[in-house]
């Protein structure tokens, strides 16, 4: 029996904050998550995962590919939360009205200040 492709998380592997978050997600996941730094991939390799993927999009926010669909940033978190131990029971909160606006704003702030969040 063929298992479906694992969820793919494409992130900024040169950012220690991003790497820490990605590793934490992978440890808490119930089903496997394949993590790839977009720095290790060419534009063509990115597009093999999903036709809308570009280096520019990956620089902008984390990308989740699941079941052939692309979910950027906060929307990727909404997809991943159902696969995380203990957090999956609260995933419905991310679908409440106005939560996506707050979530996208939070991701924008994190993106802007992530270099200041690095412990180095």
3-state secondary structure of 36: strand
Angle (deg, nearest 10), helices 99-113 and 73-80: 110
Domains in the chain, CATH or no CATH each: 7-117 (3.40.30)
Beta strands 63-66 and 69-72 are antiparallel
2 has a pLDDT exceeding 70: no
pTM of the model: 0.86
In the predicted model, what is the mean pLDDT of residues 84-89? 92
Whole-number average pLDDT of the chain: 90
In the predicted model, what is the mean pLDDT of residues 52-76? 94
pLDDT of residue 117: 73
């Amino acid at each position: 029996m063929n298992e479906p492709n694992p969820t793919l998380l494409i992130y900024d592997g040169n950012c220690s904050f991003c790497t820490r978050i990605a590793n934490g997600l992978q440890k808490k996941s119930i089903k496997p998550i394949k993590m790839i730094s977009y720095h290790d991939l060419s534009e063509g390799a990115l597009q093999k995962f999903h036709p809308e993927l570009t280096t520019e999009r990956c620089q902008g926010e984390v990308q989740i590919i699941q079941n052939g669909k692309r979910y950027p940033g906060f929307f990727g978190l909404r997809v991943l939360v159902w696969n995380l131990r203990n957090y999956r029971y609260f995933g419905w909160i991310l679908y409440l009205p106005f939560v996506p606006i707050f979530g996208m704003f939070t991701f924008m702030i994190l993106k802007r200040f992530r270099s200041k969040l690095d412990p180095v």
